[in-house]
């Protein structure tokens, strides 16, 4: 069966009437799940902030691969970077708005490998690290050395220490791991990395827009950012809890000189050198990130995080009272299971998008589009299943 009712030729000879193209687009969109339905409980992305959407559309044709042509847009990127850098403990950190966490992690390991300059370089990272590091490792010919994790899903720092060798080009810590939201002991990793003279990268793709606000709300939060001296670079994704439209990641380096390690000459462009993986890259993403940062301010983000966390803790209490085994949440990611049935299978069968951890538990990401009323619906269903 054809996917759409639109003619299947790759590109037909004559343009189709506007209405027909629009109809095909709408038809496709209707087959998508929607965040607003509350049924997407597996995603780290959400409905973007309206100011960011407007900025994205207004800056659609801008290209930060040639910043001399788009100096205003470049200024927005600089400002957005400075704001995120300040949020993460070092206003002077330098970097770029990139396409997402994968590009950010690849860029960080690329810099680390170039700076280390060792033969057969290795990277020591937690078992819980995101699979983007595997892509980075294959591309950059790095050997990944996984360190064990503890019961709370954070890395066993003693195992990291044991795995360092003369070939170690970088240590990776995660602040908000994908499955559990766990935060590694970045301070301990920093000490180990500094003793060993090794680069330390922190993947805060999810946690970077959560942890600073949880701390401001009075939650006990581990230090994970540039306030920890050994941290060389941080990945943080505006298109996750930053409420920016996809694609929007961010990579920050403590010093500008680190970026020079991956710099290439771009002689026929308006700038003589380029340090990003992408050449032509979206100025719309940078403008959108600027717009949401400026519209929400710290207070706005704090409110968003407060609501997500309140929902997470409410859900946890109610699940416990229904007899589910629930993990202690680090942030707005909740992992649970039931001794008598397969929660993931039951929920999926009824149209809820939930993910499964490698250990088989149900994993929910309580993003801002997940509202109280959706959780009440979910809870009544789970109550039925347990009775």
Interacting residue ranges for ligand 0PR, rule: CB under 6 A: 42-45, 100-102, 105, 130, 132, 174, 177-178, 203, 205-206, 237, 249
State in angstroms the smallest separation of the CB of 286 from ligand 0PR: 16
261's tokens: 């390690």
125's tokens: 């990272």
88's tokens: 């993460």
Going 321 to 324 to 329 to 332, the CA torsion angle's sign is: negative
State in angstroms the smallest separation of the CB of 64 from ligand 0PR: 18
Distance of CA 65 to the CA centre of its chain: 23
Which one, 49 or 363, has the nearer CB to ligand 0PR?
363
Which one, 90 or 367, has the nearer CB to ligand 0PR?
367
Residue closest to ligand 0PR, measured at CB: 101
Q: 3-class SS at 26?
A: helix
State in angstroms the smallest separation of the CB of 355 from ligand 0PR: 7
State in angstroms the smallest separation of the CB of 38 from ligand 0PR: 14
Which one, 130 or 161, has the nearer CB to ligand 0PR?
130
CA distance 302 to 290: 17
State in angstroms the smallest separation of the CB of 152 from ligand 0PR: 16
- Contacts of residue 1, defined as CB under 8 A and 6 or more positions apart, other chains included, come to none
State in angstroms the smallest separation of the CB of 248 from ligand 0PR: 9
Which one, 70 or 109, has the nearer CB to ligand 0PR?
109
State in angstroms the smallest separation of the CB of 105 from ligand 0PR: 6
Q: Are strands 94-98 and 249-253 parallel, antiparallel or unpaired?
A: antiparallel
Which one, 126 or 196, has the nearer CB to ligand 0PR?
126
C-alpha closest to that of 293 among 79, 96, 100: 79
State in angstroms the smallest separation of the CB of 6 from ligand 0PR: 26
State in angstroms the smallest separation of the CB of 172 from ligand 0PR: 10
CA distance 41 to 362: 10
Which one, 45 or 70, has the nearer CB to ligand 0PR?
45
- Contacts of residue 288, defined as CB under 8 A and 6 or more positions apart, other chains included, come to 48, 52, 53, 55, 56, 59, 238, 244, 245, 248
CA distance 381 to 348: 12
Q: What angle do CA 94, 156, 109 make, to 5 degrees?
A: 30
Which one, 130 or 201, has the nearer CB to ligand 0PR?
130
Residue 256, H or E segment: helix 256-259
Residue 216, H or E segment: helix 211-216
Which one, 74 or 201, has the nearer CB to ligand 0PR?
201
Q: For tokens 């230090």, what's the residue?
A: 223
Q: Are 197 and 230 in contact (CB under 8 A)?
A: no
Which one, 177 or 312, has the nearer CB to ligand 0PR?
177
Residue 318, H or E segment: helix 283-321
């Amino acid at each position: 069966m054809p996917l759409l009712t639109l003619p299947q030729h790759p590109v037909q000879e004559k343009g189709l009437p506007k209405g027909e193209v629009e109809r095909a687009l709408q038809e496709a969109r209707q087959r998508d799940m929607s965040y607003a339905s509350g049924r997407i409980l597996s995603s780290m992305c959400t409905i973007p902030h309206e100011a960011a959407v407007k900025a994205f559309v207004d800056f659609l044709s801008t290209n930060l691969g040639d910043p001399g042509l788009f100096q205003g847009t470049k200024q927005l990127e600089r400002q957005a970077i400075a704001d995120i850098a300040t949020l993460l403990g070092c206003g002077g950190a330098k970097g770029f708005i990139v396409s997402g966490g994968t590009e950010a992690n690849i860029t960080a390991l690329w810099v680390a490998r170039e700076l280390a300059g060792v033969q057969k370089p290795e990277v020591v990272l937690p078992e819980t690290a995101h699979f983007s590091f595997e892509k980075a490792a294959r591309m950059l010919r790095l050997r990944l050395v996984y360190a064990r994790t503890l019961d709370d899903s954070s890395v066993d720092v003693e195992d990291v220490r044991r795995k360092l060798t003369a070939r170690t080009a970088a240590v990776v810590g995660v602040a908000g791991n994908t499955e559990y939201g766990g935060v590694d002991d970045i301070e301990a990793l920093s000490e180990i990395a500094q003793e060993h003279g090794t680069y330390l990268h922190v993947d805060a793709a999810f946690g970077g827009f959560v942890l600073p606000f949880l701390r401001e709300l009075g939650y006990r939060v581990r230090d994970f950012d540039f306030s920890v001296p050994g941290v060389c670079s941080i990945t943080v994704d505006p298109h996750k809890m930053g409420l920016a439209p996809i694609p929007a990641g961010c990579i920050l380096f403590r010093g500008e000189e680190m970026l020079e390690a991956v710099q290439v000459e771009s002689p026929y462009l308006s700038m003589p050198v380029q340090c990003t993986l992408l050449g032509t890259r979206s100025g719309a993403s940078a403008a959108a990130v600027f717009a949401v940062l400026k519209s929400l301010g710290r207070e706005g983000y704090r409110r968003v995080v407060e609501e997500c966390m309140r929902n997470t803790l409410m859900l946890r209490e109610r699940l416990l009272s229904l007899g589910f085994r629930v993990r202690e949440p680090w942030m707005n990611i909740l992992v649970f299971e039931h001794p008598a049935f397969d929660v993931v299978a039951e929920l999926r069968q009824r149209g809820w998008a939930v993910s499964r951890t490698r250990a088989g538990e149900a994993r929910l990401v309580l993003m801002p589009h997940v509202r109280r009323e959706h959780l009440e619906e979910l809870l009544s269903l789970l109550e039925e299943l347990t009775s």
